[in-house]
Amino acid sequence: MQDNKFVFDEQTHTYKVNDVVIPSVTQIIRSVTGEDLSHIPQRNLKAAADRGTAIHKEIETGNIQSAEAKWIEKNINRSACLFEAMFYHNHNGFMFAGTADIVGTDILFDIKSQAKENIPLWTLQLNLYNLFFKSKKLRVLHVPNTGIFKVYDIPFLSEEAIQEVFDCYQSKKILKEFNTMAKQTKEMVAQPIALSLEVYTQNVGELTTNAKELKERVKNQIELYKAENYTPENIDAAKKDKAELNKSAKFLNDKRIEIERAFMAPIEEFKTTVNETVSLIKTASNAIDEIVKEVEAQDKAVKKATIIEYFNSLNFDLVDFALLFNEKWLNKTMKLDDVFAELNSKTEKIKNDLKILDRLGEEEAKEFYLSTLDLDAAFAKADEIKANRERLAKVENQKTVIEQIEDIPAIEAAPFMAEQGQTEIVDVTGLLQEPQAAQTATAQLYTVQFSVSGSETQLLALQSFMDEQDLEYQFLK
């Protein structure tokens, strides 16, 4: 495919044989088609070339990352392929050269990365390459910068059509109607596999044997083997007959299994063949599914990045984007304009909800809302906070009253409690009596009689207080 007289000058991008420059396939095609790339920005040409080079590198090194390279990897035997294969060829006395992207055992692959397909030019290029490589299939993998790649089957041109290309090049003429050369070129679209599972010979449930006759014969002869026919005197005969019967049973059962297996063999073969066919289909489907999912994941990642970029432009820092994000936004059926509108609606609702919560004056409820975005739950949280605060205040108030009662003489307790609203004093009679005889001289006791009106809770609190102070009291009817 290459000898020491064939060289490629990378600086001038020219091929030489014995120091003589020979035209490349690309030069020939551009000459006979009049193709002009001057209108395409240089950066676009470079970007396309870089994209194609990256895919070449993945396939050649085996470091497969892109969906395009994965597709090629599944459709070629990489170990049996040549990559970037340079060649020169003499066709009817005309010498030319070129570099093929991928050369397999029976397929010639070229990778195209320009924005739009150019099937006529691809047809010319691969047919000229194939004058040297003699491949049975010609294919182009088109990988524009859209995230969607296509594969094209390239038709073979006639010898007359190919010779016309060389004649036009040598005479510096434009090839007439070269577009018609590729009229049969088509995108590879897999047609549904024609599946019609048929049975050519069928004898379902039909098995002709002597089993029934054999059964009747055994039924007649088995009478000779009844247990009552055997006694201790003929025990040896019994043992012999038993062994003979067991041997006969085993023989029949083994024969049944043998015939059954033979009878079922076509069914088992049928099942195995169909299962293997189903497995082939599923394997192909799963391989495609990997590529589909990868492309879908890439599309979703790009779409999500666009949504995040829009969210950041809103300068809305009250909540994180993750709290607003909805997985359905990444569906293909969800347009970006609709996503942006929904995002705006959510941020406006948050602002309005916070204004409502501001009127409640509960900062903790606002913090709770910003973590859940549930306004009803935030209201419930505010009610809970308010109830807890009131309950705590009541407990603190009762504690203060009790502490103050403990600090004043018992005789002054009643009017103080009435003043604090703990009880309603109806009748207070401060009748001091003589100390009870049971008390010691060191602790002089007094007796005070009074009537108290209040709620059940208040009266119980008073009783609890008197118990804590070890006061003696009695309830009057």
Please give the angle made by the CA atoms of 307, 147 and 312, to the nearest 5 degrees. Answer: 15
pLDDT band at 438 (very low <50, low <70, confident <90, very high): very low
For 470, phi and psi rounded to 5 degrees?
60, 40
Say what the pLDDT of residue 448 is.
Answer: 76
Q: For residue 230, what is the DSSP state?
A: -
Say what the pLDDT of residue 56 is.
Answer: 62
Q: Residue 26: how many CA atoms within 13 Å on its side-chain side?
A: 9
Say what the pLDDT of residue 3 is.
Answer: 53
Summarised one tens digit per residue, pLDDT across range 312-330 is: 999 998 899 999 999 999 9
Say what the pLDDT of residue 64 is.
Answer: 67
Positive or negative torsion for Cα 280, 139, 16, 83: negative
Non-local (6+) Cβ contacts of 38 within 8 A are none
pLDDT band at 347 (very low <50, low <70, confident <90, very high): very high
Summarised one tens digit per residue, pLDDT across range 380-432 is: 888 888 888 888 888 877 777 666 665 655 545 555 455 555 544 444 444 33
pLDDT band at 5 (very low <50, low <70, confident <90, very high): confident
Summarised one tens digit per residue, pLDDT across range 441-474 is: 456 777 777 788 888 778 778 888 888 888 887 7
**Fold category of 6-187 in CATH:** Lambda Exonuclease; Chain A (3.90.320)
Say what the pLDDT of residue 204 is.
Answer: 61
Non-local (6+) Cβ contacts of 246 within 8 A are none
For 473, phi and psi rounded to 5 degrees?
-150, 160
Q: Cα separation of 305 and 307, whole Å?
A: 5
Summarised one tens digit per residue, pLDDT across range 22-48 is: 999 999 998 888 865 444 444 544 444
Say what the pLDDT of residue 185 is.
Answer: 45
- Burial state string for 190-228 with b = 16 or more CB within 10 A and e = fewer than 16: eeeeeeeeeeeeeeeeeeeeeeeeeeeeeeeeeeeeeee
Per-domain residue ranges of the chain: 6-187, 211-306, 410-477
Non-local (6+) Cβ contacts of 56 within 8 A are 83, 84, 101, 111
Task: Transcribe 299-319 into DSSP letters.
Answer: HHHHHHHHHHHHHHHTT--SS
Q: Cα separation of 154 and 207, whole Å?
A: 55
Average pLDDT, the chain: 79
Contact between 111 and 50 (Cβ < 8 Å)? no
Say what the pLDDT of residue 25 is.
Answer: 93
SS3 107: strand
Say what the pLDDT of residue 444 is.
Answer: 73
Summarised one tens digit per residue, pLDDT across range 139-186 is: 888 877 666 677 888 999 989 889 999 999 999 888 876 545 444 444
Share of the chain above pLDDT 70, in %: 75
Task: With CA atoms as reference, report the closest residue to 405 among 392, 393, 418, 394.
Answer: 418
Share of the chain above pLDDT 90, in %: 21
Q: Cα separation of 190 and 153, whole Å?
A: 12
pTM over 0.85: no
Task: With CA atoms as reference, report the closest residue to 76 among 49, 107, 52.
Answer: 107
Say what the pLDDT of residue 201 is.
Answer: 60
User: Residues 368-372: what's their mean pLDDT?
Assistant: 88
Say what the pLDDT of residue 196 is.
Answer: 55
- Residue count (the chain): 477
Q: Is the pLDDT of residue 98 over 80?
A: yes
Q: Cα separation of 465 and 227, whole Å?
A: 100
Summarised one tens digit per residue, pLDDT across range 216-235 is: 888 888 878 888 888 888 88
Say what the pLDDT of residue 52 is.
Answer: 54
Radius of gyration of the chain (CA): 50
Q: What share of the chain is helix, strand, coil (3-state, %, to 5)?
A: 55, 15, 30
Q: Provide the total of helices (H) and of strands (E) in the chain, helices listed first.
A: 13, 11
Identity of the amino acid at 13: H
Q: Cα separation of 37 and 137, whole Å?
A: 29
Q: Cα separation of 252 and 409, whole Å?
A: 114
Which of 50-54, 61-65, 243-247, 384-388 is the most confident on average? 243-247
For 375, phi and psi rounded to 5 degrees?
-65, -45
Say what the pLDDT of residue 34 is.
Answer: 80
